[in-house]
C-alpha cells in the first residue's frame, strides 16, 4: 500500500479590506508528498485522489519559548466563501485554500498589546475531514428468471478520514510553524485595514504655515515609529516636533499662563505637573517638555531604556502642543 503525507504550507497573511468586521485572511497550500514530516495517509492500490471536504482552522498567538501555545487561542476561522473543495494527487502542485478570521476591535487592540512593538507571530492548526476512493470488487447478481452465474465488477467506494491536528508549516520558528509578520508590514499594511490606530482619530487643526507642516511631519513619523515599536525613534521625533513648535508656543501662548497674579514662580518638577496645572508660562512648559523628551535623541544612561510608555508620553505631548498652537492661531485669525 502506498504511503503519502498530507502537507499544509503557509502562503500569505493579510487583512481583508472589504470585510465589515476586522478580518484576517490566511492562504494555505495543501499538497500530497511522498515524505514527511506531516500527517501520513496509507492508501490502497488503485486509490483515487484525496479529497478535502472540510477544514476548521484555529489561529493562535505565538510567544517564543512558551510551551503550551494552545493557550493563546485568537479565533476559530472558516473557509472563505469563494474557496472550492478540491482533490489532491501525489507529486502534483499545491492547491490553495483561503481562511477567514473575523476579529473585534477589542481583539485587535489585545493583539497589539501582546505584540508590544515586536513582530506579529501566529500559529495555525487545522482540523481536516475528507475522503479518498478505493476500488472494490462487487458481485452482480444475474437477472431474475435466467439461469446464469453472477458476475463481478469494480466500483469506487469512498473511504473517509479525519485529522485532528494538521500543523501549517512556515519554515520559521520552533518546529517551522511560526507565522511571522515583520513589524513594519504589520503596522503599515495590516493594522490600518483592521481599523486600528487611535492616533489617527486625534484631530489637529489644519494650517498652511510651512513650519507647522514640518511639525505635522514629525508627529506623523513619531506615530508611525510608535506603531512599529521603535520607542526611542518615536520619542526623538516627538522631541523634534516640540522643538519646532517653540517659537509658536511663545507667540500664540495665552497670556493667562504668564499672569503674575498667578503662581508663575512655582517650580515644576516634571512634565505631568506642568501639563496638568500649566502654572508656569507656556515657554517654561515647552522647555520642561523639551528637556524630558531629549531622552529620545541621546545615548541612554546605563541600566535604562526608552519604553513604550515613554514614547506614548512624548507623542501625546507633541500632539497636544501642536493642537494647542493650531487652535490658538485659528482663534486669532477669526
Tell me: pLDDT of 56 over 90: yes
Taking residues 150-176, what's their average pLDDT? 83
**pLDDT for the residue 273:** 40
Q: Which residue in the block uniquely carries the three cell numbers 519559548? A: 65
Write down the mean pLDDT value for the chain. Answer: 76
pTM: 0.61
Average pLDDT of 221-235? 81
**Percent of the chain at pLDDT exceeding 70:** 73
pLDDT at 274 over 50: no
Classify 182 as helix, strand or coil. coil
Give the residues across from 60 on adjacent strands.
73, 123
Q: How far apart are CA 50 and CA 88, in angstroms?
A: 5
- At 102, is the pLDDT very low, low, confident or very high (cuts 50, 70, 90)? very high
180 C-beta neighbours (distance < 10 Å), count: 18
Per-residue model confidence as pLDDT tens digits over 1-55: 467 888 899 999 999 998 889 999 999 999 887 776 677 777 767 677 888 889 9
Range name among 66-70, 150-154, 268-272, 310-314 with the lowest pLDDT average: 268-272
Residue 61's pLDDT is 95
More confident residue, 332 or 18: 18
Q: What is the pLDDT of residue 275?
A: 33
Query: Mean per-residue pLDDT for 89-108?
Result: 88
What are the structural domains, with CATH classification, of the chain?
A: 3-182 (no CATH), 197-333 (1.20.120)
Stretch among 69-83, 181-195, 270-284 having the lowest mean pLDDT: 270-284
**Which residues lie below 8 Å from residue 97, measured CB to CB, with a gap of 6+?**
27, 28, 29, 30, 52, 55, 79, 83, 86
Average pLDDT over residues 169-198: 86
Instruction: Decide: helix, strand or coil at residue 183.
Output: helix
276 vs 260, higher pLDDT: 260
CA angle 241, 317, 219 (to 5 degrees): 35
Cis peptide before 166 (omega within 30 of 0): no
The pLDDT of residue 77 is 96
**Span 246-267, mean pLDDT?**
51
pLDDT at 228 over 90: no
- Proportion of the chain above pLDDT 90, given as a percent: 22
Dihedral in degrees, nearest 10, Cα atoms 190, 195, 200, 202? -150
Question: Taking each helix axis from N to C terminus, what angle separates 308-333 and 282-293, rounded to the nearest 10 degrees?
Answer: 150
268: pLDDT confidence band, cut at 50, 70 and 90? very low
Per the listing, cell 484525496 goes with 50
Q: How confident is the model at residue 287, as a pLDDT?
A: 55
Mean pLDDT of 73-80: 94
| 131 close to 63: Cβ distance less than 8 angstroms | no
b/e 3-25 (16+ beta carbons within 10 angstroms → b): ebbbbbbbeebebbeeeeebbbb
- Per-residue pLDDT band at 57 (split at 50, 70, 90): very high
pLDDT tops 70 at residue 297: no
- Please tell me which residue, 130 or 300, carries the higher pLDDT value: 130
Q: Which residue has the cell 492661531?
A: 329
> Given a cut of 50, is residue 289 above it in pLDDT?
yes
Torsion sign over Cα 222, 223, 224, 227: positive
Amino acid at each position: 500500500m502506498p504511503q503519502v503525507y498530507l502537507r499544509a504550507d503557509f502562503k500569505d497573511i493579510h487583512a481583508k479590506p472589504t470585510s465589515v468586521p476586522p478580518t484576517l485572511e490566511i492562504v494555505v497550500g495543501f499538497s500530497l508528498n511522498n515524505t514527511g514530516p506531516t500527517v501520513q495517509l496509507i492508501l490502497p492500490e488503485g486509490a483515487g485522489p484525496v479529497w478535502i471536504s472540510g477544514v476548521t482552522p484555529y489561529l493562535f498567538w505565538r510567544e517564543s519559548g512558551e510551551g503550551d501555545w494552545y493557550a493563546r487561542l485568537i479565533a476559530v476561522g472558516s473557509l472563505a466563501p469563494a474557496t472550492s473543495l478540491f482533490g489532491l494527487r501525489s507529486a502534483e502542485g499545491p492547491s490553495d485554500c483561503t481562511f477567514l478570521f473575523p476579529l473585534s476591535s477589542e481583539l485587535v487592540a489585545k493583539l497589539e498589546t501582546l505584540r508590544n512593538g515586536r513582530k506579529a507571530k501566529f500559529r495555525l492548526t487545522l482540523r481536516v475531514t475528507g475522503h479518498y476512493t478505493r476500488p472494490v470488487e462487487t458481485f452482480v447478481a444475474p437477472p431474475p428468471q435466467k439461469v446464469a452465474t453472477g458476475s463481478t465488477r469494480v466500483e469506487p467506494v469512498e473511504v473517509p478520514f479525519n485529522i485532528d491536528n494538521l500543523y501549517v508549516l512556515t519554515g520559521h520558528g520552533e518546529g517551522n510553524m511560526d507565522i511571522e509578520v515583520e513589524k513594519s508590514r504589520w503596522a503599515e499594511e495590516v493594522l490600518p485595514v483592521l481599523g486600528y490606530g487611535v492616533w489617527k482619530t486625534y484631530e489637529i487643526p489644519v494650517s498652511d504655515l510651512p513650519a507647522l507642516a514640518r511639525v505635522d511631519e514629525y508627529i506623523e513619523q513619531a506615530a508611525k515609529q510608535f506603531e512599529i515599536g521603535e520607542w526611542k525613534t518615536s520619542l526623538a521625533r516627538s522631541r523634534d516636533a516640540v522643538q519646532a513648535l517653540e517659537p509658536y508656543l511663545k507667540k500664540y501662548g495665552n497670556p493667562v499662563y504668564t499672569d503674575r497674579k498667578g503662581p508663575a514662580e512655582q517650580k515644576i518638577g516634571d512634565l505631568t505637573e506642568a501639563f496638568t496645572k500649566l502654572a508656569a508660562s507656556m515657554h517654561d512648559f515647552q522647555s520642561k517638555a523639551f528637556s524630558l523628551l531629549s531622552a529620545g535623541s541621546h545615548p541612554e544612561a546605563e541600566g535604562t531604556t526608552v519604553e513604550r510608555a515613554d514614547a506614548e508620553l512624548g507623542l501625546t505631548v507633541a500632539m497636544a502642543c501642536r493642537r494647542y498652537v493650531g487652535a490658538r492661531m485659528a482663534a486669532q485669525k477669526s
